[in-house]
Amino acid sequence: MIALLDCNNFYASCERVFRPDLIEKPVIVLSNNDGCVIARSDEVKKMGVKMGTPVFKIRDLIVKNNISVFSSNFALYGDISRRIMKILQNTVSDLEIYSIDEAFIDFIYKSDIEYESLNLVCKIMQWTGIPVSVGISTTKTLAKIANHFAKKISINNILFLDSEKIIDFYIKKIDVKDVWGIGYRYSNFLHDKGIFTAYDLIKRNDKWILDNMSINGLKTVYELRGIKCFELQTSELPKKNIRNSRTFSKDTNDYNKIKKAVSSFASKSAEKLRSQQCVTATIFVFINTNKYKSINENLKLNGKVNLKFSTNDTSVIISEALKILDEIYIPGYFYKQAGVIISDFSVVNQNQLGLFEDVSKKIKRDKLMGSLDYINSVMGNESIKLACEEFENGWRINQSNLSPAYTTRWNEILSVNI
C-alpha cells in the first residue's frame, strides 16, 4: 500500500502557525514577485479564487473580504517542510520526498495503515502546526486520487481506497485533468474524445492509449487499474536541471537591466550547480513580454547553447548566457520576465578534461569558485559577486507583504508580548 501525504494549503498554513489571529480567516500567498496567487486557505477557495490568478484581478475581492495577503516566504516554508520531512523520516522507513509539501510513503504492513496515518496527521499537526491529508491506495497514481478526495470529504483527512468497489466509485468521480501525469496537456484531447473521468480512460484498450498518449500514458492507466508502474524514489537524485527566473517588478525595455538580471540568474544557477557538485553542458535563456497587456503582443523568445567543455564556472556561464540573450533580444518591446535554465549535468569527477582545455587555468578557476561559495556562505548570500550582476534590488523582488523568517533568522524570530 502506498500513501501520499500532502500538506493542506501549505504556504498559507505556514503563515498561520505564527499568526493565530488568522485562523479560520481568508489567507492567500503570492508568487515570487507578488504576481499571482500560489496558495489559498479554504475560505479563499470557497470564494472561487483559482490557483495562479493574477492578484490585480481580485483586488476588490481582497478588500471586500478582508483577505490577508502574504508575499512568498520561502525561508519559512523551506524550514517547516524540512521539519515535516524529518518527522516522516524518523517515523516511516520507505519515503519519497516528492515536493516541498508532499511525500509518498510505502506501508509494508497492511494491518495498521489507518492507525499509522492518523498518528502521522496528529503528530505533524502538534509538532509543526501544519494540517496534512493522507490518501492511501495500491499505486502512486491512486494514492494521489485518494489524497485529492481526502481533503474534500474525509473528516479526519485520511482516505483509504483499498477494495475495487471503492476505487471504482472514486475514479468515476475524478476528472481526467486531475489525474497525476495527465494534466492539461492531454485533458483537452481526452475531453474531445469523450473521455471525462479516470474511469472512462481505463476502459480504453492498451493499444489506443499507447498510440495516443505514449508509454507514460499507458503506465498511468495501469496504475489507475491498480498495477504498480511507478516505484518510490527513495534516494534523492541530484537535480536534472536548475531554473532561475523572475518576473520584473515593472515591465522593462532597458537592455542593460535585462542583461544584469540574466547575469544574476546565471550566477545563482552556477552556485547551485557547484553545491551539488555538478557541471553543466547546456544553457538556456528566455525572455517574455507581458501577456496581460494588449499593447504588446505576447512574445516568447529563447535560445540555448551546448558547451564544448562542461563547466560550473560562474563567469563562463554568465558570458554564455549573455551571448544567447544578445541573439534573442529584440529592441523596442517591454519585457515582463527573464530566466536561465541549465541542464545536461554530470558529476564533477566524471567530467573528463577536454583535450584542449587549459588544466592549470581550470584548477585556478575551481579554487576561485570554491572561495566565492565559502565567502558567500559565511558572510551571507551575495556578499561577493561578479561586477556584471545586479547591485541594486530595484528590479528584483516585489515582496511588500513578506512575513518574518520566524524559524531561520535570530533577528526575525516570533516576538510575544507577555
417 touching other proteins, by CB under 8 A:
yes
21 touching other proteins, by CB under 8 A:
yes
343-382 mask for other proteins (x: CB under 8 A)?
Answer: ----------------------------------xx----
Nearest approach, Cβ of 135 to other proteins (angstroms)? 23
83 touching other proteins, by CB under 8 A:
yes
Residue 386: phi, psi to the nearest 5? Answer: -75, 150
407 touching other proteins, by CB under 8 A:
yes
Please report, as residue ranges, which positions from 189 to 248 form the binding site for other proteins (by CB under 8 A).
Answer: none
Residue among 6, 45, 126, 237 that touches other proteins (CB under 8 A): 126
Q: Which is nearer to other proteins, 129 or 303 (CB)?
A: 129
Nearest approach, Cβ of 87 to other proteins (angstroms)? 5
Nearest approach, Cβ of 24 to other proteins (angstroms)? 10
User: Of 15-23, 238-246, 300-308, 330-338, which segment contacts other proteins by CB under 8 A?
Assistant: 15-23
Nearest approach, Cβ of 111 to other proteins (angstroms)? 26
Interatomic CA distance for residues 340 and 280, integer angstroms: 13
Sign of the Cα pseudo-torsion (185, 159, 130, 63, in order): positive
Please report, as residue ranges, which positions from 90 to 119 form the binding site for other proteins (by CB under 8 A).
Answer: 90
- DSSP per-residue string spanning 49-101: PPTT-BGGGGHHHHHHHT-EEEE--HHHHHHHHHHHHHHHHHH-SEEEEEETT
Number of residues that bind other proteins (CB under 8 A): 23
Q: Which is nearer to other proteins, 17 or 299 (CB)?
A: 17
87 touching other proteins, by CB under 8 A:
yes
Q: Which is nearer to other proteins, 126 or 393 (CB)?
A: 126
Interatomic CA distance for residues 399 and 34, integer angstroms: 6
Q: Which amino acid is at 15?
A: E
Nearest approach, Cβ of 18 to other proteins (angstroms)? 9
What is the edge-to-edge ordering of all strands in the sheet holding 300-311?
A: 241-252, 335-347, 278-289, 300-311
- Which residues are paired to 338 by β-bridges? 246, 287
Element (H, E) at 211: helix 206-224
Q: Which is nearer to other proteins, 32 or 376 (CB)?
A: 376
Mutual angle of helices 140-153 and 164-171, in 10-degree steps:
70
- Which residues are paired to 97 by β-bridges? 103
3-state secondary structure 2-39: EEEEEECCHHHHHHHHCCHHHCCCCEEEECCCCCEEEE
Residue among 78, 129, 131, 226 that touches other proteins (CB under 8 A): 129
Q: Which is nearer to other proteins, 131 or 226 (CB)?
A: 131
Residue among 46, 86, 172, 293 that touches other proteins (CB under 8 A): 86
Closest CA to 125 of 17, 9, 44, 21: 17
Closest CA to 405 of 46, 40, 75, 23: 75
414 touching other proteins, by CB under 8 A:
yes
Q: Which is nearer to other proteins, 80 or 159 (CB)?
A: 80
User: Of 232-240, 265-273, 332-340, 402-410, which segment contacts other proteins by CB under 8 A?
Assistant: 402-410
23 touching other proteins, by CB under 8 A:
yes
Interatomic CA distance for residues 294 and 208, integer angstroms: 41
Nearest approach, Cβ of 83 to other proteins (angstroms)? 4
359: Cβ–Cβ under 8 A, 6 or more apart, which residues?
353
Task: Give the β-pairing of 37-40 and 68-71.
Answer: unpaired
Interatomic CA distance for residues 266 and 244, integer angstroms: 8
416 touching other proteins, by CB under 8 A:
yes
Residue among 13, 71, 128, 247 that touches other proteins (CB under 8 A): 128
Give contact residues for other proteins (rule: CB under 8 A): 20-21, 23, 83-84, 86-87, 90, 126-129, 377-378, 406-407, 410, 413-418
